[in-house]
Chains A and B, each alone.
Chain A
Amino acid sequence: MPCERKPMRYGHSEGHTEVCFDDSGKFIVTCGNDGDVRIWEGLDDDDPKFITVGEKAYSLALKNGKLVTASSNNTVQIHTFPDGDPDGILTRFTTNATHVTFNSSGSRVAAGSSDFMVKVVEVSDSSQQKTLRGHEAPVLSVTFDPKDDFLASASCDGSVVVWNIEEQSQLISWPLLQKTNDVSNAKSLCRLAWQPATAKFLAVPVETKVHLYERGTWDHVSTLSDDLQTQLINVVAWSPCGRFLAAGSVGGSLTVWDVNSKLCVERQKHEKGFTVCGLAWNPSGSQVAYTDTEGCLGLLDGLSTSTSTKQAPTKKTAKEYDDLFDDDDDDRLMDEGLSDTNSPVKKPVAGGDDDDDDDDFLVPATGRVRNRGAILDDENSLDTGSLKVGWDKFRDDEDSSAAAPAAPPLVPLRPVYEGPRPSAPQKAFQPGSTPAHLTHRFMMWNSVGIVRGYNDEQDNAIDVEFHDTAVHHAMHLTNSLGHTVADLSQEAVLLACPSTDELASKLQCFHFSSWDTNKEWMVDLPPGEDVRALCLGQGWAAVATSALMLRLFSIGGVQKEIFSLPGNVVCMVGHGEQLLIVYHRAPGFDGEQALGVQLLQIGGRKKQLMNGEPLPLSHKSHLSWLGFTAEGTPCYVDSDGVVRMLNRGLGNTWTPVCNTRETCKSKSDHYWVVGIHENPQQLRCIPCKGSRYPPTLPRPAVAILPFKLPLCQTSTEKGLMEEQYWRSVLFHNHFSFLSSSGYEVDEDGRTQSQKEQQELLMKMFALSCKLEREFRCVELAELMTQNVVTLAIRYASRSRRMVLAQRLSEIALEKANQIQEEEPEEQEEEPEYAAVRRPSGYEVTGGRQGNRRQQEEEEERVQELGDEEEEDAPETEEEAETRKRVNPFVKEAASPVTPSLTPIGKVGRANPFKVLGSGKPSSSSAQPRVTNILDNMTSSRKSSQLSGSAGKPNKGPVLKPLAPRAKAKTQSTLLQMTKKKTQEITQPAAEQQKPAEAPPPASPADNTENKRLLPKTGFQFWLEENRKSITADHPDLEETDVIKEAMGRFRTLSAEERLSWTERAKGQTGEADLKKRKRAGGGGGGGNEHGQAEADENSAKKKKCLDPSAKLSAFAFNKN
């Protein structure tokens, strides 16, 4: 029975609606929540007549030119039809009537009401009333027996009752429905229908089936069902001939059965899957009109009843069998249970918030038919046909395949296609926004601020609020254009609205950081192109449109690059110069989404970093948030709550870093992510109790979740440390990215995390040693830096693992060689880098210096660790110092959450309470205790040259940093043999330094100037003595470079030596020298002036003493 589904049209405002035809079948009459009855001359009637019957109209019935309506003033009233003049009130209830109906002749009206009563009234004389009492809950629906003897009614108390009208008594009552307390809560409206003409059957919609009861015997004779019908049936209606029964479900499906054969002859879907709440056959029998709870009217046309009548006799025989089977499986209880579990029951009135959110905003691939309908027939897809063609086609195929078997009628309708189903592609969204259909919603919540949209009766406005009021004051914008998407940055607010019939899609930008007076610009998109997603970066804006286009604008409104996207955009975000776009790569199947991701660099060096790689999502989930960390690493969250971050260190792979659902207490709780920070490691999100999205009021508070890599066995010590290590490595990646793209880097954070990593490695090493896993030890050692490997060697040799120690020393050698090889390269690269990042090169190089220092410090730390574990007590003096030194570290470790500065455009924070380091603007000043002013003075270029310069002339001081260390601890037996080598190697270095010790040459004039300005510092003394050697090494250096070079060298001296120089400057030279010699002798180095290892142990303490003088000297040179 092929039929045509006409497109839906708007009829009434949202809410319950009903529909009927007039006697001639010429008019469709509807009523709805707006209190109007509309009279349509066919579906295309653009100007229907309307009669206002009250504030709300709950039900209507039409016969013999009388229109009976149940309205909100608790009356049942009559209007003339089609004129619409009021014709009196039929009856009143104490609350509103829920359903009215005429009998077959039109002489009586039956009305059921929420006050539990059913009244039967003579139309001609409203005083003749019969009241049927007995229901114990609001009456859902009523229907007359065509022969006028009986009346059937369904009620919220769960019963379907047949009444004898004359006797006003209950004839029979079936407990068929679920009990509810009100019509609005009833799962199904349960509109009964009595077969016209023959009056043989009473059709009762029960769950997903229709029960037929025989008049007279009141037996349940058969059940009409359809395997594809998974939702509750809301209304049923008989065809005028009484052969067919149409049913509309809460999920929007429309089914027509042939009652004789009990076969489904027609299946249709509501185009948006809304609940069908009104259903009427045209008296001619060829049309079915239906309305939904959203107030729309639809029509099925061309239902030809004739074709199937021919077939009817052939099927008659089968009927008995069918009856048999139907009786068998009519286990009502079981049905109830099934339908409860299988079909997500929807209320007829759209009320479920959470579910609705899902439906309308994102498309969860739950496989619910209603959702699929909702998405596939998204109204946007009509004007962007090109994008959705594939989908529509697929859908059409599905439909036609469903319809095709119906061509030879009475063959059961089954779709042919059995393979994996394509899942609905998720709609475009703005990360950090709540669904667009909410009247009060967040249009954007990001690290800059909050954009809220209000769209209710009183107001259509947008509120922009900044977390940091220093950025800009809050703004209130009237949303006259109907903006739906927004983004917010430190510079501007970007808004866009979809196109309407008259107006093109617009892009509006409030560029509040502009220094001229025009803070606003607007751009119209070409006709037929709609904004789907937009984002702001630093100095640019990007818009993805429905025409698969990506348009770039400057923040001031200049149109820039434009390019095509490979697929329908899902969302995009910008950060600094990076633009991240996620789009549909292909149709996904079985609930999966197939998304692709593009990462572009916009700005100075334009390039594509990721080119359409698939975006990994959890099983059957969709993308729910996309963004950058504050440090600029792309990350995203899927609907399963898994947060993934780009691992630039592993070829741009995605690593899951957190599962927010694991921390949820209840299944329905979610975390709504608003931002991610790498340093400190923070996942900022809003906990939503029992929903996916937060409400705008009360104002939600941000919570912080920790990250956790899903490594195995994190309950064990090993697993825990491994997780910490790899997390630290992952969250460390951004440093190298930032510095390579020329941003200022928080060096303290960097050194901190490096130190943490090496410490963890050492701990893991110790653990593996304890477990006798030497191979694993070697594997761990390969991850260590060279300095830490030497400690590992010592640890191994002390715990008498000679084989291990030997292998480790090989690794150490290898690493040292690597460093050696890298250094020249680095030098070559250096100038290039410097050219690229001139503005920030200073900080970066300063940081490298910091690294070096950090490594040394860390060595000490780990050394202590080893010492303590071994309980191999060195000199007591040293131990005491160790303890003293631990303290500052402990303090730092206790508060690892150092204030992080977001890398770009951050306003420097002035702390009025903080005294320490307040004078120094750079981020490296946060740890004034260890900051030596020399660090900032010497560039890494110098320092790398320095380490090279010590080596270069001597051809191979490979182990220079290693050697003195080995020497200091002579207990290490294994190293004896390497020691000899290193001694030999360092020998020349020592010799080279020796002439430096020679009496100073006449110092140049500017130095004498210094003398006059200030008393000499230790460094100046040293400089005087060594100037010659420096100038000899680098004859081409200018004066300032010489000083820098000298500083670099001075720094490489041991703290003790430096101290001695300082003391010499103070006139205590003799004493200091003595001390120095003693120490050097005790170390067993014998003439090696690098008593570094030992000195290092004391350095932390001594450095403090050194600091003031170093500062002074630095000051002196600044004056210079």
Chain B
Amino acid sequence: MFGSSAGTSRVADVSSGKNKVLGKSNSLARQTAMDPSEVEFLAEKETVKIIPNFSLDKIYLIGGDLGPFNPGLPVDVPVWLALNFKQRQKCRIVPPAWMDVEKLEEIRELERKEDTFAPVPSPYYMELTKLLLNYASDNIPKADEIRTLVKDIWDTRIAKLRLSADSFISQLEAHAKLDNLTLMEINTIRAFLLDSLNCMYKLRSNLQPGSSKGQFTDY
């Protein structure tokens, strides 16, 4: 999988890749780009604090033991379980510390100020925001403001990403380094970027005299 660590990624190798990449690139790009729902699935492994309203002994799962659940006492569980409990009205979700209007405003300002990508509060900030706000907005104070702020941050970052992709292509760079990108962000741009780079490579190699035209006409 492409981004096991979502913090940093390189768009680099894609364009500097030689023919072997290009051969399969179309199908490969489609394969490697993760569906947003898949990223969301990964995000559901993040833990979140809940306050259960039932009591249950420790539960033993493959991923580790959870609980014990005492009514009224906060406990850490994965997001998928938290949402499941929440939908069954078995708990209240305590929003993560960064899901706070003031903190998000700070992050937004930083994001706007910096040209590069600023560190995000959580590698799955977008997914978590969406999940928690969709299912547990009643447990999150100022849910609407948070939604707007996170969307703002997201938009700013995606705009930056597009801008950097644009300059990457127009300046014919061989590689670039982008830090602090999240998995979701990488995957939103991956399919498009790879496909277009392939296309451009094709066009460019056709233009250049003496290049091995034959290869590509066959293709």
Task: Report if A and B associate in a common complex.
Answer: yes
Interface window among A8-16, A718-726, A909-917, A1098-1106:
A909-917
Tell which of A466, A897, A906, A926 touches B53, judged by Cβ atoms closer than 8 Å: A466
The reply on B59 being an interface residue by CB < 8 A is yes
Contacting residues, chain B, for A916 (C-beta < 8 A): 60
Q: Please measure, in the bound complex, the distance between the C-alpha atom of A899 and the C-alpha atom of B141, giving whole angstroms.
A: 32
- Evaluate contact between A909 and B56: CB separation under 8 angstroms: yes
Q: Please measure, in the bound complex, the distance between the C-alpha atom of A698 and the C-alpha atom of B67, giving whole angstroms.
A: 25
Tell which of A467, A684, A895, A914 touches B57, judged by Cβ atoms closer than 8 Å: A914
Contacting residues, chain B, for A906 (C-beta < 8 A): 55
Contacting residues, chain A, for B56 (C-beta < 8 A): 909, 911
Give, as a whole number of angstroms, the nearest-CB distance from A465 to chain B: 9
The reply on A447 being an interface residue by CB < 8 A is yes
Q: Please measure, in the bound complex, the distance between the C-alpha atom of A909 and the C-alpha atom of B89, giving whole angstroms.
A: 18
Q: Please measure, in the bound complex, the distance between the C-alpha atom of A467 and the C-alpha atom of B75, giving whole angstroms.
A: 14
The reply on A341 being an interface residue by CB < 8 A is no
Give, as a whole number of angstroms, the nearest-CB distance from B202 to chain A: 54
Q: Please measure, in the bound complex, the distance between the C-alpha atom of A895 and the C-alpha atom of B54, giving whole angstroms.
A: 21
The reply on B65 being an interface residue by CB < 8 A is yes
Q: Please measure, in the bound complex, the distance between the C-alpha atom of A322 and the C-alpha atom of B71, giving whole angstroms.
A: 70
Q: Please measure, in the bound complex, the distance between the C-alpha atom of A897 and the C-alpha atom of B70, giving whole angstroms.
A: 12
- Evaluate contact between B53 and A899: CB separation under 8 angstroms: no
Contacting residues, chain B, for A684 (C-beta < 8 A): 73
- Evaluate contact between A911 and B54: CB separation under 8 angstroms: no
Q: A466-B53, A913-B59 are in contact. Are A702 and B71 (CB under 8 A)?
A: no
- Evaluate contact between B72 and A447: CB separation under 8 angstroms: yes
- Evaluate contact between A899 and B58: CB separation under 8 angstroms: yes
| Max chain B C-beta neighbours (<10 A), residue from A684, A897, A911, A926 | A911
Q: Please measure, in the bound complex, the distance between the C-alpha atom of A899 and the C-alpha atom of B60, giving whole angstroms.
A: 13
The reply on A650 being an interface residue by CB < 8 A is no
- Evaluate contact between B67 and A899: CB separation under 8 angstroms: yes
Q: Please measure, in the bound complex, the distance between the C-alpha atom of A1041 and the C-alpha atom of B79, giving whole angstroms.
A: 54
Give, as a whole number of angstroms, the nearest-CB distance from A687 to chain B: 12
- From 949 to 989 in chain A, residues with beta carbon under 8 angstroms from any chain B beta carbon are none
Give, as a whole number of angstroms, the nearest-CB distance from B82 to chain A: 14
- Evaluate contact between B72 and A911: CB separation under 8 angstroms: no
Tell which of A466, A698, A897 touches B71, judged by Cβ atoms closer than 8 Å: A466
- Evaluate contact between A701 and B94: CB separation under 8 angstroms: yes
- From 59 to 77 in chain B, residues with beta carbon under 8 angstroms from any chain A beta carbon are 59-61, 65, 67-68, 70-74
Contact mask for chain A residues 703-718; partner B; CB cutoff 8 A; 1 contact, 0 none: 1100000000000000
Contacting residues, chain B, for A701 (C-beta < 8 A): 49, 51, 74, 94
Q: A468-B54, A469-B53, A895-B65 are in contact. Are A702 and B59 (CB under 8 A)?
A: no
- Residue of chain A at shortest CB distance from B49: A701
- Evaluate contact between A702 and B141: CB separation under 8 angstroms: no
Give, as a whole number of angstroms, the nearest-CB distance from A145 to chain B: 53
Give, as a whole number of angstroms, the nearest-CB distance from B184 to chain A: 28
- Evaluate contact between A909 and B72: CB separation under 8 angstroms: no
- Evaluate contact between A702 and B60: CB separation under 8 angstroms: no
Q: Please measure, in the bound complex, the distance between the C-alpha atom of A914 and the C-alpha atom of B67, giving whole angstroms.
A: 12
Contacting residues, chain B, for A467 (C-beta < 8 A): 53, 70-73
Give, as a whole number of angstroms, the nearest-CB distance from B63 to chain A: 12
Q: Please measure, in the bound complex, the distance between the C-alpha atom of A468 and the C-alpha atom of B90, giving whole angstroms.
A: 9
Contacting residues, chain A, for B141 (C-beta < 8 A): 698
The reply on A907 being an interface residue by CB < 8 A is yes
- Evaluate contact between B73 and A909: CB separation under 8 angstroms: no
Contacting residues, chain B, for A907 (C-beta < 8 A): 55
- Evaluate contact between A468 and B57: CB separation under 8 angstroms: no
Contacting residues, chain A, for B71 (C-beta < 8 A): 466-469
- Residue of chain A at shortest CB distance from B59: A913
- Evaluate contact between A468 and B51: CB separation under 8 angstroms: no
Q: Please measure, in the bound complex, the distance between the C-alpha atom of A912 and the C-alpha atom of B81, giving whole angstroms.
A: 14
- Evaluate contact between A913 and B51: CB separation under 8 angstroms: no
Q: Please measure, in the bound complex, the distance between the C-alpha atom of A469 and the C-alpha atom of B71, giving whole angstroms.
A: 8
The reply on A835 being an interface residue by CB < 8 A is no
- Evaluate contact between B51 and A470: CB separation under 8 angstroms: no
Contacting residues, chain A, for B90 (C-beta < 8 A): 469
Q: Please measure, in the bound complex, the distance between the C-alpha atom of A597 and the C-alpha atom of B60, giving whole angstroms.
A: 44
- Evaluate contact between B65 and A702: CB separation under 8 angstroms: no
Q: How many residues of B contact A (CB 8 A)?
A: 24
Q: Please measure, in the bound complex, the distance between the C-alpha atom of A885 and the C-alpha atom of B92, giving whole angstroms.
A: 41
Contacting residues, chain A, for B89 (C-beta < 8 A): 469
Q: A702-B74, A899-B68 are in contact. Are A914 and B54 (CB under 8 A)?
A: no
Q: Please measure, in the bound complex, the distance between the C-alpha atom of A909 and the C-alpha atom of B67, giving whole angstroms.
A: 12
Contact mask for chain A residues 448-484; partner B; CB cutoff 8 A; 1 contact, 0 none: 0100000000000000001111100000000000000
Q: Please measure, in the bound complex, the distance between the C-alpha atom of A116 and the C-alpha atom of B61, giving whole angstroms.
A: 71
- Residue of chain A at shortest CB distance from B73: A702
Contact mask for chain B residues 30-62; partner A; CB cutoff 8 A; 1 contact, 0 none: 000000000000000000010101111111110
Contacting residues, chain B, for A470 (C-beta < 8 A): 54-55
Give, as a whole number of angstroms, the nearest-CB distance from A915 to chain B: 8
Q: Please measure, in the bound complex, the distance between the C-alpha atom of A926 and the C-alpha atom of B68, giving whole angstroms.
A: 13
Give, as a whole number of angstroms, the nearest-CB distance from A673 to chain B: 14
- Evaluate contact between B53 and A914: CB separation under 8 angstroms: no
- Evaluate contact between A914 and B74: CB separation under 8 angstroms: no
Q: A467-B72, A468-B71, A698-B141 are in contact. Are A909 and B53 (CB under 8 A)?
A: no
Q: A895-B65, A899-B68 are in contact. Are A704 and B73 (CB under 8 A)?
A: yes
Contacting residues, chain B, for A699 (C-beta < 8 A): 92
Q: Please measure, in the bound complex, the distance between the C-alpha atom of A907 and the C-alpha atom of B65, giving whole angstroms.
A: 22
Give, as a whole number of angstroms, the nearest-CB distance from B72 to chain A: 3
- Evaluate contact between B55 and A909: CB separation under 8 angstroms: yes
Contacting residues, chain A, for B61 (C-beta < 8 A): 913
- Residue of chain B at shortest CB distance from A703: B74
Q: Please measure, in the bound complex, the distance between the C-alpha atom of A914 and the C-alpha atom of B58, giving whole angstroms.
A: 8
- Evaluate contact between A468 and B73: CB separation under 8 angstroms: no
Give, as a whole number of angstroms, the nearest-CB distance from B122 to chain A: 19
Q: A467-B72, A702-B73, A895-B65 are in contact. Are A914 and B60 (CB under 8 A)?
A: yes
Tell which of B54, B57, B74, B92 touches A899, judged by Cβ atoms closer than 8 Å: B57
Q: Please measure, in the bound complex, the distance between the C-alpha atom of A703 and the C-alpha atom of B90, giving whole angstroms.
A: 20
- Residue of chain A at shortest CB distance from B91: A469
Contacting residues, chain B, for A698 (C-beta < 8 A): 141
Q: Please measure, in the bound complex, the distance between the C-alpha atom of A702 and the C-alpha atom of B67, giving whole angstroms.
A: 16
- From 78 to 108 in chain B, residues with beta carbon under 8 angstroms from any chain A beta carbon are 89-90, 92, 94
- Residue of chain B at shortest CB distance from A684: B73
- Residue of chain B at shortest CB distance from A926: B57
Q: Please measure, in the bound complex, the distance between the C-alpha atom of A43 and the C-alpha atom of B32, giving whole angstroms.
A: 87
Q: Please measure, in the bound complex, the distance between the C-alpha atom of A699 and the C-alpha atom of B94, giving whole angstroms.
A: 10
Contact mask for chain B residues 134-149; partner A; CB cutoff 8 A; 1 contact, 0 none: 0000000100000000
- From 866 to 897 in chain A, residues with beta carbon under 8 angstroms from any chain B beta carbon are 895, 897
Give, as a whole number of angstroms, the nearest-CB distance from A455 to chain B: 23
Contacting residues, chain B, for A703 (C-beta < 8 A): 74
- Evaluate contact between A469 and B57: CB separation under 8 angstroms: no
Q: Please measure, in the bound complex, the distance between the C-alpha atom of A895 and the C-alpha atom of B65, giving whole angstroms.
A: 10
| Max chain B C-beta neighbours (<10 A), residue from A447, A899, A912 | A899
Q: Please measure, in the bound complex, the distance between the C-alpha atom of A888 and the C-alpha atom of B73, giving whole angstroms.
A: 28
Tell which of B60, B68, B72, B92 touches A913, judged by Cβ atoms closer than 8 Å: B60
Give, as a whole number of angstroms, the nearest-CB distance from A1036 to chain B: 43
Give, as a whole number of angstroms, the nearest-CB distance from A215 to chain B: 55
Q: Please measure, in the bound complex, the distance between the C-alpha atom of A466 and the C-alpha atom of B92, giving whole angstroms.
A: 13
Q: Please measure, in the bound complex, the distance between the C-alpha atom of A1063 and the C-alpha atom of B51, giving whole angstroms.
A: 52
Q: Please measure, in the bound complex, the distance between the C-alpha atom of A911 and the C-alpha atom of B68, giving whole angstroms.
A: 10
Give, as a whole number of angstroms, the nearest-CB distance from B55 to chain A: 5
Contacting residues, chain A, for B65 (C-beta < 8 A): 895
Give, as a whole number of angstroms, the nearest-CB distance from A702 to chain B: 6
Give, as a whole number of angstroms, the nearest-CB distance from B48 to chain A: 13
Tell which of B51, B59, B73, B94 touches A911, judged by Cβ atoms closer than 8 Å: B59
Name 7 extra pairs, CB < 8 A, besides A702-B51, A911-B59.
A467-B72, A467-B73, A470-B55, A698-B141, A895-B65, A913-B61, A916-B60
Q: Could you list 17 A-B pairs, sorted by A, with CB under 8 Å? A: A466-B53, A467-B71, A467-B73, A468-B54, A469-B53, A469-B90, A698-B141, A701-B51, A701-B94, A702-B51, A895-B58, A907-B55, A912-B59, A913-B61, A914-B58, A916-B60, A926-B57
In the complex, the 7 A-B pairs of residues with the closest C-beta atoms, listed nearest first: A467-B72, A467-B71, A468-B71, A899-B68, A913-B59, A899-B57, A469-B53
